[in-house]
Amino acid sequence: MAACPRIAPYLTLLVSISIFFSSSSCGAAAGNLKDDFEVTWAAENVRFEDGGEALQLVLEPSTGGAGFASKDYFLFGNIDMQMKLVPGDSAGTVTAYYLSSETSNHDELDFEFLGNSSGEPYILQTNVFSNGTSGREQRIFLWFDPTADFHTYSVTWTQQRIVFLVDGVPIRVFSNNEAAKGVPYLNKQPMRVFSSIWNGDSWATRGGQVKIDWAHAPFIASYRNFTVAESACVKATSAAACSAQAATIPSSTTAVGEQQVDTGRLQWVESNFMVYNYCTDQARYPIVPLEC
Ligand X SMILES: *[C@@H]1O[C@H](CO)[C@@H](O)[C@H](O)[C@H]1NC(C)=O
Is the CB of 123 or the CB of 162 nearer to ligand X?
A: 123
Q: How far is the CB of 275 from ligand X (least distance, A)?
A: 7
Is the CB of 15 or the CB of 149 nearer to ligand X?
A: 149
Tell me whether residue 258 is one of the annotated catalytic residues: no
Rounded alpha-carbon distances, angstroms, from residue 21 to 125, 161, 238, 254: 33, 20, 19, 13
DSSP for residue 270: H
Rounded alpha-carbon distances, angstroms, from residue 39 to 50, 61, 65, 82, 261: 17, 18, 12, 18, 34
Catalytic residue among 38, 112, 120, 137: 112
Is the CB of 184 or the CB of 218 nearer to ligand X?
A: 184
Name the residues that contact ligand X, by CB under 6 A. 5, 30, 80, 105, 114, 116, 120-121, 123, 131, 152, 184, 204-206, 225, 227
Q: How far is the CB of 63 from ligand X (least distance, A)?
A: 23
Catalytic residue among 44, 108, 137, 178: 108
Q: Identify the CA nearest to 122 among candidates 110, 112, 109, 135.
A: 112
Rounded to whole angstroms, the Cα distance separating 207 from 222 reads 25
Is the CB of 204 or the CB of 266 nearer to ligand X?
A: 204
Q: How far is the CB of 135 from ligand X (least distance, A)?
A: 15
Dihedral, CA atoms, 219, 220, 221, 225, nearest 10 degrees?
A: 180
Contacts of 221 (CB under 8 A, 6+ apart): 56, 57, 83, 84, 85, 86, 95, 113, 195, 197
Rounded to whole angstroms, the Cα distance separating 151 from 82 reads 5
Q: How far is the CB of 91 from ligand X (least distance, A)?
A: 8
> Phi and psi for 240 in degrees, rounded to 5?
-60, -40
Helix, strand, coil % over all residues of the chain, rounded to 5: 20, 35, 45
Phi-psi region of 63 (alpha: psi -120 to 50; beta: other; left: phi over 0): alpha
Cβ-proximal residue to ligand X, closest one = 120
Contacts of 148 (CB under 8 A, 6+ apart): 84, 87
Phi-psi region of 26 (alpha: psi -120 to 50; beta: other; left: phi over 0): alpha
Is the CB of 12 or the CB of 105 nearer to ligand X?
A: 105
Tell me whether residue 230 is one of the annotated catalytic residues: no
Q: How far is the CB of 224 from ligand X (least distance, A)?
A: 8
Is the CB of 123 or the CB of 249 nearer to ligand X?
A: 123
Q: Which amino acid is located at 130 in the chain?
A: S
Q: How far is the CB of 44 from ligand X (least distance, A)?
A: 28
| Residues carrying an active site annotation | 108, 112
